[in-house]
Structure 1
Amino acid sequence: MADDVTGGGDPSPEDDFQELIRQLFGGAAGDFDPEQLSRLSGMNIDPAMMQAVMRQLQGAFEGADETGISWDMAKRQALHIANQEGLGVTAGQRTDLDQAFSLATLWLSEATTISELSAPPATLTRGAWVEATLPVWQELAAPVATSIADALTSALSEQAPEDMQGLVQGAGRLMRTVGGSLFASQLGQVVGNLSKEVVSGGDVGIPLMPDGQAAILPQNFADFGRDLEVPEDQLALYVATRELAHARLFRHARWLRLHVISQVTDFARGVHVDTDALEDLATRFDPSEPEELRRAIESGALLPARSEAQEAALARLENLLATVEGWVEVVTEDATSRLPSAQRISEAVRRRRAVGGPAERALGSLVGLEIRPRRMREAAAMWRAVTAAVGPAARDALWDYPDLMPSASDIDDPAALVARLEARARGEEPARDEMDDALARLLAGEEPGGSAADEASDSPSESDGSGEEGESGAPDDHRPV
């Protein structure tokens, strides 16, 4: 056995490796004894390579949480990419965008009844955007990262020879750290690259910024408007209005943020690793050359096709995001109707959201989720019809409670939603449905499946034959004539 040591004899190579693992766990990866490393030649392992690998894994291990995933590594990687160009926010950029936010606040107050933000809007560097949004990215990606780390541990354990199982099990946490840290590194790269694409806090569609915080990234704003041939002040006003509308909505409907995040994480929890692909990868995995595993994680090759449950979860999420973005688009267009270039900017924003950038597509490969609302045009048409029929106040009141929010069927058939809202505005009671009838019976104390006498009628009757009992619970052969 690998851990059999004869009394007074030299330790086996496996014992040396286990000792190195213990040193790694104890934080001594940088102080390995070269003589001890040289004894690993019996396992066909290059001591110099192993020392480099151990130092790399030591850094990942130190930042790993209880799941074996180093989110600190993701943060370092993202900030490294975001801060590469070293560009800050100039005083001129800050002044121009502050003025745009101020005017956008006034215009929005004419287009929506949802109140203003309590916190002032911000102009952020790319690095500051990473710092502000990474907690949400971590929450969204954690289920997939855990799945990959678990699957990697299992696959490597199954591939190890029987006489090495004790060693593999003893280093299980290290194996989780390999997979989890590689995933965290890839997430950091995606978020870092995304920081070079997003223009504002709500640009991705999901609530990434802290509650009630609106923000624009001046570095990316300049890149976005470069090819539009639109005056910069008009573009700033439109982007500021859209960002404020998005932030106002999520601050007003406080339940909405949790609703969106929950639906994303519900989808992510359903993501499972393709064990066949991972086992194939594990047979040729070399810890000193993690690039193949990194490429597999980045490309999404380890994520199998979506299940029916995931497709249903994705459809619900897409409808929810489309409903949010459709409202934001309608309110923004109404508020910026004074801008000569508003329609051109609106179309550019819509097209940009529909296509997505390279980093957003990389995120889809990484977690198996594309966060682009495919039905935004249909949702915007619904909100436009509602606004025309009942006005902004009744439209915005639909965000007061979760059960009032339009559903996917309302996007399909806005006329039915408009008819209900118009009837409500006239003071008419809405038409009762089966749910209303069931709720009324429940409140009246009736059994969901009928009265207690109905249940008694299924057993042999001990009734005295009174008419009351027969009418309330008579079996079929005693039906009234």
Structure 2
Amino acid sequence: MTTNPTAESMVDWDFAVSVGTKIAGDGPEVGRDEADEVVEELRAGAGRSTGLVREFTGLVAAHHNAPVLVVDRPGWIRANADGFKVVIGPLVDKLSSKKPPTGLALKVGSRITGAEIGGLLGFMGSKVLGQFDPFYEPDGRLLLVAPNIVHVEREINADPHDFRLWVCLHEETHRVQFTAVPWMRGHLFSEIEALARTVEPTKLLDDGLKRVTDALKDGVRGGSLMDIMSSPEQKQILDRVTGVMSLLEGHADVVMDGVGPSVIPSVEKIRGAFNERRKGIGTLDRVLRRLLGLDAKMAQYRDGAAFVRAVVDKVGMDDFNAVWAGPENLPSKDEIADPAAWVARVL
């Protein structure tokens, strides 16, 4: 009797982590004493940021929820491989209910998929400074990637203590968002499941390749692979997710910029240098960012921050916080671009 594949069997996760770790590399050279100092400073910075975020936003994070972990590049890659298992779980269930691969086909396929995911994780693992992982049970966890933080602070010649607290402010805001708004995790899970329900296994490859070909023939440029390969129904779901992610990222940027001047002396210099860095470094880096949708990620920071600032300027932070009352109050992708429409609908 053959059992259906799972997210564990359809992807060689150990191979993905191995590939990703090799691609990401070790990061900058840091002595043991300096490394210990960085780890302790980041932990302290995250702890300090909780109160600063609460005072600025009015959001109260639950105590002892969502641990803060300072990790190296392999640690971030392993954590995200674990998160990917959760993300693709509903899709694997859908695919395996039709005509699941078995035997050698499953083994070879899992190796290939592991290499693809490993390549993505390796590229990202050398760049991400911090991340809230909402898929870690039971309440998520905050990851701060120490070698990447050190690499960037050296690259932009920032004051190390200021830069580390600046990063902590942004990332801790995400931890506060998810722990003060506990329904947010379930909402994201439901959107992932909805996306999986739209997948038709028999059409996935043919239709996906046809959309890529048509897009190239029509001269479409600048979109991500997800944009090109999404069906109309999937685009609706992705638009909702874009609205949520723009809100979360923009809100964190507004908090970082709002709190920063009072506690980080060199915040203006850091922000200026970091904005330049966000544009990508080198041709290959820019191409990969575009294909992986990272250009859209940068737009989420910009557009989401503009939305939050516009609403707060109009109605104040207390009324803005109605956005956290329930999924029905979240802004759509269109409302992110039109804050007045959100105010009219919700408030």
Q: CA deviation at 1:319?
A: 2.1
Answer whether contact 1:354 1:374 (CA < 8 A) is retained.
Answer: no
Matches of residues 213-252 of structure 1 in structure 2 within 5 Å? 213-252=141-180
Alpha carbons of 1:117 and 1:373: their partners in 2 closer, same or farther (altered >3 Å)? farther
3-state DSSP class of the match of 1:201?
Answer: strand
Q: 1:125 maps to which residue?
A: 72
Instruction: Find the aligned partners of 1:388 and 1:261 in 2 and give their Cα distance.
Output: 32
Q: CA shift at 1:219, angstroms?
A: 0.4
Of 16, 24, 37, the residue aligned with 1:74 is 16
Query: What SS class does the counterpart of residue 129 from structure 1 fall into?
Result: helix
User: Deviation per CA, 1:196-249, whole angstroms, max 9, x where unpaired?
Assistant: 2211124xxx74666353231110001112232321111111101111001110
Q: Determine the structure 1 residue equivalent to 2:58.
A: 113
Kept in 2, the 8 Å contact 1:100–1:237? The answer is: yes
**TM-score, length-scaled by structure 2:** 0.72
Compare 264-273 and 397-406 and name the one that shifted more: 264-273
Q: Distance in 2 between matches of 1:216 and 1:395?
A: 28
**Cα distance in 1, alignment partners of residues 147 and 312 from structure 2:** 35
Determine helix, strand or coil for the equivalent of 1:197.
coil
1-structure distance, mates of 2:176, 2:111: 36
Instruction: Give the deviation of 1:325 after TM superposition.
Output: 1.0
Question: How big is the shift at 1:183?
Answer: 0.8
The answer to whether the aligner puts 1:273 opposite 2:205 as a matched pair is yes
Partner of 2:191: 263
Structure 2 unaligned blocks of 5 or more = 211-223
**Residue 126 and residue 313 in structure 1: after superposition, are their counterparts in 2 closer, same or farther (change >3 A)?**
same
The offset of 1:147, in angstroms, is 9.3
- Please give the alpha-carbon distance, in whole angstroms, between the structure 2 residues aligned to 1:324 and 1:276: 30
Partner of 2:241: 317
The 1:390–1:362 alpha-carbon spacing in structure 2 relative to 1, beyond 3 Å, is: same
Per-residue deviation, 1:403: 1.5
Pair 1:267–1:363, CA change in 2 (3 A): farther
Kept in 1: contact 2:17–2:74 (CA 8 A): no
C-alpha distance in 1 between matches for 2:345 and 2:261: 29
* Structure 1 stretch displaced more, 129-138 or 242-251: 129-138
SS in structure 1 of the partner of residue 316 of structure 2: helix
- Verify the 8 A CA contact 2:77 2:121 in the aligned structure 1: yes
Could you tell me how far apart the structure 1 residues matched to 2:294 and 2:156 are? Answer: 29
After TM superposition, the score normalised by the length of structure 1 is 0.54
Contact 1:379 1:411 in 2 (8 A): yes
Q: Would the aligned equivalents of 2:7 and 2:89 in 1 still touch at CA under 8 Å?
A: no
Q: Call closer, same or farther: CA 1:184–1:386 in 2, change over 3 Å.
A: same
Q: Which amino acid aligns with 1:173?
A: G
1:4-23 to structure 2, matched below 5 A, reads none
Q: Counterparts of 2:62 and 2:11 in 1: how far apart (Å)?
A: 36
Q: Give the 3-state SS of the residue equivalent to 2:48 in structure 1.
A: helix
Match of 1:95 among 40, 57, 71: 40
C-alpha displacement of 1:333: 1.5
Q: Larger % of helix: which?
A: 2
Asked if the contact 2:239/2:333 (under 8 Å) is kept, the reply is no
The 1:420/1:84 distance shift into structure 2, 3 A limit, reads: closer
Are the aligned partners of 1:318 and 1:373 in contact in 2 as well (CA < 8 Å)?
no
1:159-207 deviations in Å (ceiling 9; x for gaps): xxxxxxxxxxxx95312322232112221232234222211124xxx74
Q: Deviations over 1:331-372 (max 9, x none)?
A: 222121323432443455556556599789769868x89862
Name which of 378, 384, 401 aligns with 2:326: 401
User: Does the CA contact (< 8 Å) of 1:112 and 1:331 recur in 2?
Assistant: yes
Q: Which residue of the partner structure matches residue 11 of structure 1?
A: none
Greater shift, 327-336 or 110-119, is seen at 110-119
What is residue 254 of structure 2 aligned with on the other side? 330
Distance in 2 (CA, whole Å) between partners of 1:80 and 1:67 is 22
The AA in structure 1 aligned to 2:157 is E
- Residue type of the partner of 1:244? E
CA distance 1:172–1:401, shift in 2 (3 Å): closer
The equivalent position to 1:177 in structure 2, one of 107, 112, 135, is 107
1 CA distance for matches of 2:259 and 2:73?
A: 28
Q: Aligned-pair RMSD on alpha carbons?
A: 4.3
The AA in structure 2 aligned to 1:307 is S
Partner residue, 2:314: 389
Q: Percent identity?
A: 24
Q: Which residue of 1 aligns with 2:84?
A: 137
CA gap 1:196/1:243 in 2 versus in 1, 3 angstroms? same
SS of corresponding position for 1:107: helix
Q: Distance in 2 between matches of 1:399 and 1:322?
A: 14
Structure 1 runs (4+) greater than 4 angstroms displaced: 63-68, 79-89, 141-151, 264-269, 275-278, 347-366, 368-371
- Structure number with greater CO (CA < 8 Å, separation at least 6) is 2
Distance 1:388 1:306, change over 3 A: closer
Whole-angstrom CA distance in 2 between matches of 1:218 and 1:320:
27
Number of corresponding residues: 318
